[in-house]
Structure formats: C-alpha cells, structure tokens
Amino acid sequence: MISTLGLYRPRDTPLHRAPAWLKVLLLIITTVVVLVTSDTVTSLGIMCAALLLLASTAPPLRVTMWTLVGTALIGLVSSTLFLWRGDYDRALDVTADLLTIVSLALAITTSTSMAEMLDFVAYAARPIRAVLPPETLGLMFALMLRALPEVARIYMESRQAARARGLDKSIRAVVFPTTTRTVGFALQLGQAIHARGIGEEFDASHEARDARDKKRTKKRTQASTRSRKAQQAPSRGTGPEGSEDIETRSSESTGEAMSTEEAFERLIAPRGKNDK
C-alpha cells in the first residue's frame, strides 16, 4: 500500500540528474495537458513517453508493475460509463491519462531522493515565510512521510492480532487498537520534537514581534492622547476667548464665580488713573 515511498534508487540517468523543481514542473504541465486534451491519439502518445521515461529510471519491477496494473484497473472502472455508452475512444483516453500521470509520478519518485524533495518543499514555501517558516513546512512534510509507514505497520499488527484471536470479521478489534496506538505514536513524536526544541525559535520570534507591535501601539496611543489634551487646552489672550481666561483668574483670586458678560465688560472698560 505504501511501498512506493521507498522506490528511490540512485542511478546515473538524465532524470536523476535533473533538479527536483524541474521534475515537479514537468509533472504539473503534463497533468494539465492530458486533462485538457481529449484526443485519444495524443493521450496515447504522451502515455508511451511517460512509460519510456519511467523505464529509463530502472524502477523496482514488481512494485512498478503492480502499481501500473492497479492504475489500469481503476481507469477501466472509471470508464465503465463510456464503455456502456459505446464511447470506446473516451474510455481509452481516460485510462491513458491515468497511466500517464501515475507513470510520471513513479518516475519522479524513483529518481528523486527524499532529501531533494524536502529541500524543494522548503524552497517553494519561501513566499509564505511570514506565516510559516520553510523549515517548519519541510519538517511537517517529512513527519507526514514518516507517519504513513508507521500507521500502516500498526494497522497490519492490529489486523494480525485480531486474526490470532479469531476476530477476523470484527471491525472494532482492528480499528480501536490501531487508533489508540496511532495517537500514542503521535504523542511520542510530539514530545521528541519538543524535547529537541524544534519550532521554539519560530515561537520566540513571533513573541518578540508581538511585543514590538504592542510597544509601538502604546506609543501611538500616548502621543494621540497628548495631542488631544493640547487641542482641548484653553487659549489665552484678548477678546471673547480671553474673557474666559479672565473669568478663571478672577474666580480663583476672589473665590466668586464671574459670568462671561461681566468678564467681557471689565475687559473693555476704560482704565482709571490708578491703573495708569
């Protein structure tokens, strides 16, 4: 079921020497072309080219044959509707498209090591480094590939244990132990990652950035408050605005309240000799 994860074989072929990004780009372009093209002859030609490219990488024969046969059966099942309608060209086109995509994917898997693929994933994730560091994404990809065979092994062991107890047809005897052991494996893996401090640098950088943002927001708030208080402060001078100032000083010196009209009359009244 997951044996295709170990298909890589070191060889000296053109596809082995090609960079990982070029192989992935070739797979994407080929997939788009075979899905858009509805010509049976074109689909068969691309399928033959993909099969030749796969053969040039010298993949493991047994696993490759089982994968291609299974893909052909899936293609035939998917084309049942076209066969029932008598559209044999369309049925052949669908099967050829599936074989093309799977053959090219197997060729890339056979000629690309896991280290090169992880480096490519980390490089492709650089545009989103502000959200998720590329190294973290590469680690997640590696953990996913590591967890797949482990979960499969747990499932096979649970199935064999259920068969030994005579519970071949019991779903619970297989599902419950598999689920429990899978969760335990995930917890142990998380504890191992935490013990090695993986990912803490990213958390620390985010905490430092949040602290800087809070400090800047606090400074902007304080500056806005000071500016608002300066705008609300009463102006001093003559005229109606100065009367408010006189009223305030008079009320502070005499302890009695003075209206705005009285303060204005006192301001414009002629001065006496004593004032001179």
Q: Is 39 left (phi over 0), alpha (psi -120 to 50) or beta?
A: beta
> How many domains would you assign to the chain?
3
> Looking at the domain assignment, is residue 141 inside a domain?
yes
pLDDT score of 275: 47
Residue 167, both tokens: 């519970």
Cα 271 to Cα 268: distance, rounded to the nearest angstrom: 9
Shared domain for 70 and 137, answered yes or no, is no
Shared domain for 123 and 134, answered yes or no, is yes
Mean pLDDT of 4-31: 81
Shared domain for 107 and 149, answered yes or no, is no
Cα 266 to Cα 262: distance, rounded to the nearest angstrom: 6
Cα 34 to Cα 24: distance, rounded to the nearest angstrom: 15
Q: What is the mean pLDDT of the chain?
A: 75
Binned at pLDDT 50, 70 and 90, residue 165 comes out as confident
Q: What Rg, from alpha-carbon coordinates, does the chain have?
A: 39
> Looking at the domain assignment, is residue 213 inside a domain?
no
Q: Is the dihedral of CA 132, 137, 143, 145 positive or negative?
A: positive
> Looking at the domain assignment, is residue 250 inside a domain?
yes
* Residue where one domain finishes, among candidates 78, 112, 146: 112
> Looking at the domain assignment, is residue 185 inside a domain?
yes
Q: What is the pLDDT of residues 169-221, one digit of tens each?
A: 788 888 888 899 888 888 887 787 777 776 665 555 555 666 667 777 777 77
* Residue where one domain finishes, among candidates 198, 217, 252: 198
* Residue where one domain finishes, among candidates 64, 96, 112: 112
What's the one-letter identity of residue 41?
Answer: V
Determine contact, residues 39/110, Cβ cutoff 8 Å.
no
Shared domain for 100 and 150, answered yes or no, is no
pLDDT score of 276: 42
Determine the length of the chain.
Answer: 276
CA of 159: how far to CAs of 165, 171, 172, 184, 258, in Å? Answer: 10, 9, 10, 18, 97
Cα 234 to Cα 248: distance, rounded to the nearest angstrom: 10
Determine contact, residues 113/6, Cβ cutoff 8 Å.
no
- Give me the domain span that covers residue 96: 1-112
